[in-house]
Amino acid sequence: MLVKWTRCTVIDRRGYERGQRKWAGLLGEPGFRGQGGGWSRVRPGVAHVFSFWESRPFYDSFMARSHDRLAAAQSGTYKDTQTKLFDHRFDVKTGFEPRFTDADVVRVAHCKVHEERVEHFALMQEKVWNPAMAGSPGMLRGLFGEAPGNEFIVLSMWHSAAEHGKYRAERIERLTLRAQTAADVAALAGDIVALEPSWTV
């Protein structure tokens, strides 16, 4: 599965949200699995959208045919767009599905990893971070994805911001030490996204 993550700064909120609803046109696109997104809880005016495709060829075909027509509705409503594509490597918890209806927030972590530490980083994700997240109340599902250039994404969906906050407060420092994250990661950026139900496709 291919994961597309788009982040931008919105300059016309009403126009952007109106345009976001036009992405319902994705339904019926060959290989499309689902899309959702919302507003950063930390950075005012920053929007995140996550979309999921069966494979890269399906995604490339969509980009060549229908993307520009759907995107036109949001033209001029945002700036500073950043888009990244990741290949799904494994689930966090089990049976990841790109469903957003039961989640309140998504936590996204974007990691740039030292080349010689990539395998260790992936192993720690599987053996240390995954079990800790999977065992946390309110954590619904998630995934670990990889992009060229030793870049990784960890997406986790949570029932509520409060439950995610509890997990953070109790576990992060201890887990970071155990997984030797500081030695693996060259750069780490993340955000907490409050999902907008009307953006879900």
Q: Parse the chain into domains and list their residue ranges.
A: 2-199
Q: How many other CB atoms are there within 10 angstroms of residue 91's CB atom?
A: 15
Q: Is the pTM of this model over 0.75?
A: yes
**In this structure, what token pair is assigned to residue 125?**
């994700």
Class of 2-199 in CATH: alpha beta
Whether residue 17 contacts residue 35, with contact meaning beta carbons closer than 8 Å, is answered with no
Whether residue 78 contacts residue 14, with contact meaning beta carbons closer than 8 Å, is answered with no
pLDDT at site 73: 94
The stretch 157-167 carries a mean pLDDT of 91
Which helix (H) or strand (E) covers residue 180, if one does?
none
What does each C-alpha distance from 119 to 54, 113, 131, 140 come to in angstroms?
A: 25, 10, 18, 26
pLDDT at site 172: 84
Q: What percent of the chain has pLDDT over 90?
A: 90
Q: Which pLDDT band holds residue 167 (cuts at 50, 70, 90)? A: confident
The stretch 172-199 carries a mean pLDDT of 94
Whether residue 176 contacts residue 150, with contact meaning beta carbons closer than 8 Å, is answered with no
Task: Tell me: pLDDT of 117 over 90.
Answer: yes
